[in-house]
A and B are shown apart, each in its own frame.
Chain A
């Protein structure tokens, strides 16, 4: 996989760490591959960090599953901290490896307060989460991992990717997060990118946002009622009731962001996340404001 150059003007500067993953999420936009690529990307990423613009605001570590790098993850983070001391580091991880408290502790040592971990949660019910994650035991390890990260005082972004299998329980998930994961820095409800598994297995997984908006709004409202930070990613404003617009972010990376013809007449285009250029189809129900 070819990595894009780190660019100070981009909102998406990423170090791709591996194509391997210990989950096999049914809607994965970047389906994992079993190849021995960790050293290859590690060496590549060292060079990329060394040549990166020094005032890069944010760098993201992604995959696959970055924690499969084991201790190399910490060497890479230490290098970033050394070379780019002011850069925030965002790790996108399924969190399972942090079920080992020592691993969470080591992350804190390496990354200190510059690190945030983004962790997807697919359901509040173990078996649903495991089905979506494509791996038995994933849920329990992820929840323990979240607790261990929190014990270390590491910032957590919780990510809920909304799909056909979990949208019915979005409000219950919000209650679960409020009660059991109240320490997360924020919760992001994310629309699916229609690419990878989400597209090829669409009959099982795909659901039009317009169908889950009521559950989404109820979940967002509940978290907001209890003063938790909550955001909506990847849902165009025209699909959201106006009172939920303040929660919606311009979340789609600039290099894969697009707007359609009807967006040209929309007065909210500048504030709107638009669409994934990578998606095979647009959402239904799009209309200009």
Chain B
């Protein structure tokens, strides 16, 4: 047997060896196959044909269809051509909640400072239109951005005005706890077709405990109901964040989402920023989160089998990467990393930051990922020496511990997380909890696809549509 090896990676998952090529196509085979491939002793002729057809090995040194493979890779990295699509506007740090895990260092709603000036809003919106992306998402965050209604409306009006000549596809998202959805806020959302992204942690007792308030749940549910009535059910989605307490209640949390009529849930781990850093033992938390994820995931599968629509969004992202040839746009799992390439932050303090987490670090006086003042030119900000420095470590194809990882095509690079948890941008994968968590969950999803294909594919096909 004579053939040439093309770049691919492999790992062992359960009873299988899993092979992944450069564009994320996956094949699986019995243990020992990798050795056969390398030694040119492949026994299964159909596997041999699949390896050739799918660019794992080549019968000539340079595959005749290399351009096809190149086009496939270009499609997977299409988000780079599109340039920054997600633009986060942090209107204020003022907040009307007091969540135990707050990652954004929110302040009391009655304090005067900590909101974005109109001048900075104007500069920020102008920067956003410098991105050549045809699709721009303007996401309003806080603190609680609904407390700054006039500024929120001002930002949208500026964007609408500029867009009269720019003709981009604009999407507005208000990230709100839904407690302050006043008629005024709702009128703006209705007028400009704003999506509501809210936050709900589970049943009332759990949610209220996480929020540090007695009646938060009731108010949130009331807000969700009001938003759905005015904007339509499909315009309101919710996110959960798993506090340490939440980890004991995967079933209850999923059931709560189902009960409230949500058709998707994003099982999200805490990130080590803001108040959340007080969390005692991150390693223990990560291990428990992985178990929590699996239990919640299986419960979601059960709901689907009973005929209910419920999508687990993290799994849906991994499945798209795993099973489709298309590019996915989730900023936390990109390579090159989501920072700058896919997301920019315009903070209330008048500075541009590299990501949502970057501005959270700034609240702890760590300004590593502060790009510069909004009054500077877009070019000086986005092509600054700082950003160029980050670009050396934002490809997981090129950093140790990721470059030879079989799951690389499904994962991403996160220099911000490396810096905040390990003290350097490059990071060290063997002790990285980001790595541990993603690896465990991605492997779990791969094993679902391999071992339970007929059972789960009818469900997964609806998740990735």
Enumerate chain A interface residues (CB-CB to B < 8 A): 123-126, 128, 140, 143-144, 147, 168-169, 172, 176, 178-180, 182, 225-227
Contact = CB atoms under 8 A, between A and B. Distances in A.
Interface string B43-56: 00010011011100
B150 interface: no
Contact of A172 (B49, B67, B71, B326): B49
A176 B54 contact: yes
A123 to B, nearest CB: 8
B349 interface: no
Nearest to B464: A226
Contacts of B68: 143-144, 147, 180
Contact of B49 (A143, A147, A169): A169
Contacts of A123: 49
A172 B46 contact: yes
A126 B465 contact: no
B52 A125 contact: yes
Contacts of A226: 323-324, 461, 464
A96 to B, nearest CB: 13
A179 B65 contact: no
A140 B67 CA distance: 11
A169 B46 contact: yes
B64 A180 contact: no
Contacts of A125: 49-50, 52-53
A225 B449 CA distance: 13
Interface centre among B64, B72, B464 (most CB of A within 10 A): B64
B332 interface: no
Contact of A179 (B325, B461, B464, B465): B325
A227 B72 CA distance: 19
Contacts of B64: 126, 140
Contacts, number: 51
A95 to B, nearest CB: 14
Nearest to A147: B68
B65 A140 contact: yes
Given A125-B50, A126-B64, A178-B324, 7 more contacts: A125-B49, A125-B53, A147-B71, A172-B53, A178-B325, A182-B325, A227-B465
Given A179-B25, A180-B72, A124 B49 contact: yes
B53 A124 contact: yes
21 contacts: A124-B53, A124-B54, A125-B49, A125-B52, A126-B52, A126-B59, A128-B49, A140-B64, A147-B67, A147-B71, A168-B46, A176-B53, A176-B54, A178-B325, A179-B25, A179-B54, A179-B72, A180-B325, A182-B325, A225-B461, A226-B324
Contacts of B13: none
Interface in B403-430: none
Contacts of B230: none
Contacts of A225: 457, 461
Contacts of B464: 226
B20 to A, nearest CB: 13
Contacts of B65: 140, 143-144
Contacts of A126: 52-53, 59, 64
Interface in B319-348: 323-326
Nearest to B323: A226
Contacts of B326: 182
A18 B377 CA distance: 64
Interface string B371-382: 000000000000
A135 B71 CA distance: 26
B49 A144 contact: no
A182 B461 CA distance: 16
Nearest to B71: A147
Those 5 A-B pairs whose CB atoms lie nearest each other, nearest first: A125-B49, A124-B53, A225-B461, A140-B64, A179-B325
Contacts of B324: 178, 226
Contacts of B54: 124, 176, 179
B50 A172 contact: yes
A124 B52 CA distance: 9
A172 B25 CA distance: 12
Contacts of B67: 144, 147
A143 B465 CA distance: 26
A10 B345 CA distance: 62
Contacts of B52: 125-126
B110 to A, nearest CB: 51
A226 B324 CA distance: 8
Interface string B16-57: 000000000100000000000000000000100110111000
Contacts of B49: 123-125, 128, 169, 172
Interface string B160-197: 00000000000000000000000000000000000000
Nearest to B49: A125
A43 B341 CA distance: 58
Contacts of A182: 325-326
Interface in B68-112: 68, 71-72
B269 to A, nearest CB: 29
Contacts of A144: 65, 67-68
A65 to B, nearest CB: 21
A140 B58 CA distance: 13
B377 to A, nearest CB: 37
Contacts of A169: 46, 49
Contacts of A128: 49
A143 B53 CA distance: 12
B49 to A, nearest CB: 4
B426 to A, nearest CB: 33
Contacts of B59: 126
B176 to A, nearest CB: 33
B209 to A, nearest CB: 41
A262 to B, nearest CB: 33
Nearest to A226: B324
Nearest to B69: A180
A63 B400 CA distance: 56
B458 to A, nearest CB: 8
